[in-house]
Structure 1
Amino acid sequence: MNNPVHTAAQDRAARGAFGGASWNSRNTGRLLIWIAGIAVVMNGVFPLVWMLLTSLKPEGELSRLPITYFPDAVTLSNYATVLGLNPNDPSPKPFWRWFGNSALISLVSAGLCVWISSQVAYVIARMNIRGRGVILAVIAGISMFPLITLIVPLFQTMRALGLLNTHLALIIPYTVLSLPVCTLMMVGFFQQIPRDLENAAMVDGCTRAQALWKVVFPLSAPGVFTAAILAFVNAWEEFLLALTLIQREDMRTLAVGITLYQGEFAFPWALISAALVLAMVPVAVVVVMFQDRVVSGLTAGGVKG
């Protein structure tokens, strides 16, 4: 026959060691969440760290076996070559030209996207439009089209307009492709702003357009910043359209220009890694500067819709 005193002591010891009966539900769930979070972070961070370490290695060290994870001799020669500061480079690439092209195209397309999507979102959120749910569904469906299906019609359109090998050949499609996501995001924000604020502004003499830009737009700053950053990042990182619609080397964007470092018989991993690290700097700076607004935008924008 079991000793009740001994059994109770054992139960108390078990609860003290394993957190009691709640371990199997709450603690196990927390442990799984932590494991999943660490796996996601490692999956995203490890390639970036590996790329950074590769960019600091001499070219000969990359072919050494066994593989070394950290550079034996840190060198900045790869960055000097990418930036055009290496006098021994026989064929320097116009990195800064590509960088400027990407910056111009990304900034202009992001600005146009925010300007257009804000007005479309305001009409959808504020006006009594019949079939608004259908319109939102169509906008969401358009955003799901794979880009590869649009390559041929976009190429033919730009060729007919005489825009191939120009910045407009990328600014126009980048703006249009980012419009659905930005519009849906801003609709959620505009719906959270009380109509009384706009009515009060219009009573004071503002038109509806002035109420949008002077009242609704500033109050939706987190959503506006989030939409602008998403449009900027999408344009900065896009590769397929930039490769297809622009063939002149001096007009290429940075995403395509980096691929030109590859030779016919060589693949300079260290050089390409250095160029990729430099290409990530603008995106990282933008995200760090506006991370608070981006986080609040992504969370608050999904409350209504």
Structure 2
Amino acid sequence: MSTVATPVSSRTVAAKSVARTRENWATTRTYVSAALIVIWCLLPFYWMIVTAFRDVGYTFDSTPFFTHVTWDNFTTAFSAELGNHLGRALANSLFISSVTTVVALLFGVFAAYALARLNFRGKFLVLGVVLGASMFPGVAIVTPLFQLFGDIGWIGSYQAMIIPNISFVLPLTVYTLTSFFREMPWELEESARIDGCTQAQAFRKIIMPLAAPAVFTTAILAFIASWNEYLIASILSNDATQTVTVAIARFAGSQPHQEPYTAVMAAGTVVTIPLVILVLVFQRKIVAGLTAGAVK
């Protein structure tokens, strides 16, 4: 009996050892791949931050990060004497992005609920139009918008940038929320209707609280998309209403005919900080919103 059991036991141990080795290699490959992806994605930000703190005379120097450090680039970025109205541009971007996000969510929630939960004629046609609008190139409507807003005197106004932003952000909002509402169990709403709620009450008291993570995630995505918009703002804004993306592109340096690389990177660092803080603070809600509705 012992002579038969010994080879079987040896083969079992060997098989477990091979399986453990393969599992360790798979885990190692996963971590290495993840590390390479993270490094690849963070390298541009590292270069931006290093250049933002680098003395102008050492802009293209290859010395380590902690050498030739200065705060003067941030002073230059906010310098009104050079025409860099970064503070005003930050306020403009915050206002435009906030209004765009609120309006897009206000209409997007109801549109997504209707497309996901209600049956009506032309439902799939509407969804197809929404998807088509999300892929429409913005450069194709810049000239018509410039002519239209010029005729009504809106060039350089906030509404000239908010309305086009809504038209681009709203399809993203509708598509994201529609996917969530589709996965939400019908039984929740039907139970509320049986208990005496109207459809509006069931939507307000049952559906919306459950949809809060998805709505929150969609709001962040809409805000970031509006914050990063450049094309429309570069054509329809002026010095008083320009956003941060336009302000940075029009940066002026202390010396003529010289690109202020360090000041541009300092401004880019300042513009990126709010988005990073937003994502870090609300990362749990973002993950919850992205995974909401995945399991019924």
Is the pair's TM-score, using the shorter chain for normalization, greater than 0.5? yes
CA distance in 1, matches of 2:138, 2:223: 17
Residue of structure 2 in register with 1:249 after alignment = 239
Decide whether aligned partners of structure 1 residues 168 and 303 sit closer, same or farther in structure 2, where only a CA change above 3 A counts.
Answer: farther
- The reply on whether 1:268 has 2:260 as its aligned counterpart is yes
Check whether the contact 2:84–2:252 (CA below 8 A) recurs between aligned residues.
no
CA distance in 2, matches of 1:270, 1:238: 22
1:170 Cα deviation from its structure 2 partner: 0.9
CA distance in 1, matches of 2:195, 2:233: 48
- The reply on whether 1:45 has 2:42 as its aligned counterpart is yes
The gaps in structure 1 that reach 5 residues or longer are 1-10
Check whether the contact 2:184–2:293 (CA below 8 A) recurs between aligned residues.
no
CA distance in 2, matches of 1:288, 1:61: 32
- The reply on whether 1:187 has 2:184 as its aligned counterpart is no
Q: TM-score of the superposition, structure 2-length normalised?
A: 0.84
CA distance in 2, matches of 1:214, 1:140: 29
RMSD of aligned alpha carbons: 3.0
Task: Spell out the pairing of 1:23-172 with structure 2 (5 A cutoff).
Answer: 30-64=27-61, 67-84=62-79, 90-91=81-82, 93-172=84-163
Check whether the contact 1:82–1:275 (CA below 8 A) recurs between aligned residues.
yes
1:116 Cα deviation from its structure 2 partner: 0.5
Decide whether aligned partners of structure 1 residues 13 and 223 sit closer, same or farther in structure 2, where only a CA change above 3 A counts.
Answer: closer
Aligned residues between the structures: 286
Decide whether aligned partners of structure 1 residues 205 and 161 sit closer, same or farther in structure 2, where only a CA change above 3 A counts.
Answer: farther
Residue of structure 2 in register with 1:4 after alignment = none
**Identical-residue share of aligned pairs (%):** 34
Check whether the contact 1:78–1:274 (CA below 8 A) recurs between aligned residues.
yes
The 10-residue stretch of structure 1 (111-120 or 196-205) with the greater mean CA deviation from structure 2: 196-205
Check whether the contact 1:188–1:303 (CA below 8 A) recurs between aligned residues.
no
The gaps in structure 2 that reach 5 residues or longer are 1-10
The 10-residue stretch of structure 1 (124-133 or 197-206) with the greater mean CA deviation from structure 2: 197-206
CA distance in 2, matches of 1:27, 1:68: 38
Task: Spell out the pairing of 1:7-26 with structure 2 (5 A cutoff).
Answer: 20=18
Residue of structure 2 in register with 1:280 after alignment = 272
Check whether the contact 2:161–2:232 (CA below 8 A) recurs between aligned residues.
yes
Q: TM-score of the superposition, structure 1-length normalised?
A: 0.82
CA distance in 2, matches of 1:23, 1:136: 49
CA distance in 2, matches of 1:303, 1:157: 47
Decide whether aligned partners of structure 1 residues 135 and 293 sit closer, same or farther in structure 2, where only a CA change above 3 A counts.
Answer: same
